[in-house]
Amino acid sequence: MKKDDCIFCKIANGEFNTEFILETDKIVAFRDINPQAPEHILIVPKEHFENIVSIDDKELFCELLEGIKKVTEKIGLKEFRTVINTGKQAGQTVFHTHIHILGGKELKPTFD
């Protein structure tokens, strides 16, 4: 289901002609607007789920994880970090779940 006021619903469903690095029936991947590393890509389900724990579709889970492999292979990124923020306290700002892929530079181990 699509949520009318959700920016990632709009992007994932092609409303802004965003360049997709990957698109399947269920997911898309596109570059983060505010990159924190030379490569910063978001993997996003087309269907609206507020966060990763609200997903109730096992196939979608698999596709999101497979998306990590497909996207990084496609852009030739062999070393990278994946991040999934869940909830405001954890730094989630867009409440349509997404996986961050960050790479292309040495990343500090930060868990603060």
Q: Which stretch binds ligand DGP (CB under 6 A): 28-36, 51-59, 60-68, 72-80?
A: 28-36
Q: Write the burial class of residue 33 (CB in 10 Å: 0-12 exposed, 13-18 middle, 19+ buried).
A: exposed
Residue 78 CB, shortest distance to ligand DGP, in Å, is 22
Instruction: List Cα–Cα distances, 89 to 34, 86, 105, in angstroms.
Output: 20, 8, 26
Selected range binding ligand DGP among 32-40, 45-53, 55-63, 67-75, rule: CB under 6 A = 32-40
Give phi and psi for 48, each to the nearest 5. Answer: -80, 120
94 binds ligand DGP, rule: CB under 6 A: yes
- Whether 33 and 16 have beta carbons less than 8 Å apart is answered as no
Neighbouring residues of 17: CB distance < 8 A, sequence distance ≥ 6:
none
Q: Which of 60, 94 has the CB closer to ligand DGP?
A: 94
When asked if residue 88 is in the footprint of ligand DGP (CB under 6 A), the reply is no
Least separation in angstroms between residue 29's CB and ligand DGP is 10
Residues lying near ligand DGP in the complex (CB under 6 A): 7, 11, 30-34, 85, 91-94
